[in-house]
Structure 1
């Protein structure tokens, strides 16, 4: 099945990351035949500065790699909550099955022919128990997720992973927003938007004291996916676990973390995609890419860690990279 891909693009970091995403997509998935949509927020009252990708090398490379840069308007979010772009940017998609990826992602294997049931949405399980934060005296996970699903017409019991005990965060449907997919971008946009606005503007009592920045999109995403009949990958979600965030894509977030933690096939695929001169001359203008893709820092970071026995906490990885002078902000 052919499907379209959506990423967010705007000036600065995201423009560079979009170029790397497009380069890895074209190099490592040459048979994929969908449309790559780079959704670009338009300037307006919700963006005090013009957020668009400026005319120049990044924009030119995206076009050369077949990306379509499509504008959209921020009606509800904007500069105060940029993660809202993944909600509002869904309007830039044409009809038909789609997959959204955070722009700091690389594609490392052929997407054509993947067995995905887009009618059963799913999202990334590469997450930690970041939301909600449970107070000693409650309410607990069951109460919070229960009232949120009920507000959206859902049934908490249908979302539970009963392999985990009551009040363990993994028992409850929770995703990272690094990727998600569906068969109808308009329906997904409505469900995602309405869930986010309910949590932000009309929260139930159990949620009033919860921190929503930067977690609002991740709090709303499980409600939308459940509402649309999906679930966890390999369960009710229509894709096997380990395809995205595994064999076919990698959400790196920071270059040092990619080189420290990614499987070998990810590094091989990224290095090959970044090698052509037309790509290199654009990517090397972004300091993290220059240092890790084209200078020795990537290999040095890789040599510090055994990918089969990584530290359990990401903070330990970051701390060691810093001590070795190998950390650089995104």
Structure 2
């Protein structure tokens, strides 16, 4: 935890922008960042380049790129040498190599809003962490197969890491929360090259030569979230490295898709997204994407919001999704 009174150093912020939905989410992220963070935050929008690992062109449209630049972002081209079309989640891993070396960074998924000044977040960049807004999505325990402990221990053993020190002993044995697991919606460290090299090495090693305990497990789309806790643990980070309540709380909102934002997120998040998307120069571009046009500009999001009591939401996200779909309001 950062010492009381310590000043968070300057840092770089990275998201991934590419053709399709992500380029429009990148605009909303950038607009919310610059509206709510003082000074001139350094935002890099990492953009995968055409190459053999992509069918077609993954780059953003010209008007989107221009708008992002006008807002204050820097477009950061990078090459997919390992991942690409077959595993686009790998973008967040490979793009780290393009960031300035030895400069602290925070990565955010593009489907995130910034709600308050990120400079107020007490990052200790020497101790990495990531989002704990996560459900027990991996591993899926199979009848007669290995349990959580055996599966996770096999991964720590593979990379020569201490397994016992990663455990939350306040959770019962074989409960998924006992084992270090993050959502990759944000993560941070003091150097993107060090973090990115290790993230790539671990992800490729798991993909290509997984321990036998993983034989029954699905790695797509979970590969990044399987490797991430191992990377964080290996670099001296963990659950308690960042005080709770800032990211995925008062200062950022990882909404995932717009219907879920309107269904379950705070009034502040809704106010921010509707405010930052209202200027005509932003609206002109965003309305070209049908879900944003319908949910924000034509008021469908407010109809979704009226379906739910934020103080009494269904416990499972799938139940929220199902209700929205039954009412005919689901879009992404």
Give TM-score scaled by structure 1 length: 0.95
Matched, 1:245 2:248: yes
Contact 1:32/1:112 (8 A) holds in 2:
no
Q: Is the 8 A contact 2:14 2:108 kept in 1?
A: yes
CA-to-aligned-CA distance 1:82-110 (integer Å, 9 cap, x gap) = 00001001112113111001111111111
1:284 matched to which residue of 2? 287
Equivalents in 1 of 2:159, 2:114: separation in Å? Answer: 34
The answer on 1:168 being equivalent to 2:175 is: yes
Equivalent positions of 1:1-330 (< 5 A) are 1-29=9-37, 31-55=38-62, 57-95=63-101, 96-232=103-239, 235=240, 237=241, 239-328=242-331, 330=332
CA contact (8 A) 1:32 1:111 kept: no
SS in 2 for 1:71: strand
Asked if 1 retains the 8 angstrom alpha-carbon contact of 2:53 and 2:83, the reply is yes
Unpaired runs of at least 5, structure 2: 1-8
Instruction: Give the CA deviation at 1:48.
Output: 1.9
Report the number of matched residues.
323
The separation in 2 between residues aligned to 1:316 and 1:134, in whole angstroms, is 22
Other structure's SS at 2:13 match: strand
Q: How far did residue 34 of structure 1 move?
A: 3.4
Q: 2:34, 2:41 within 8 Å by CA — same for their partners in 1?
A: no
Q: Find the aligned partners of 2:98 and 2:297 in 1 and give their Cα distance.
A: 34
Measured after TM superposition, the shift of residue 276 of structure 1 is 1.3
2:50 is paired with a residue of what secondary structure?
coil
How far is the alpha carbon of 1:32 from its aligned partner?
A: 4.7
Alpha-carbon distance change, 192 to 65 in structure 1, aligned in 2, over 3 angstroms: same
- 1:113 deviates by 3.0
Secondary structure, aligned partner of 1:87: helix
- What is the DSSP-based 3-state SS (H/G/I as helix, E as strand, rest coil) of the residue aligned with 2:271? helix
SS at match of 2:89: helix
> Could you say what secondary structure the match of 2:118 adopts?
coil
SS at match of 2:117: coil
Q: SS where residue 263 of structure 2 aligns?
A: helix
Q: Residues 36-80 of structure 1, C-alpha deviation per residue, up to 9 Å, x if partnerless?
A: 11111111111121111122x211110101111111111111100
C-alpha RMSD of matched pairs (Å)? 1.1
* Counterpart Cα distance in 2 of 1:142 and 1:33: 45
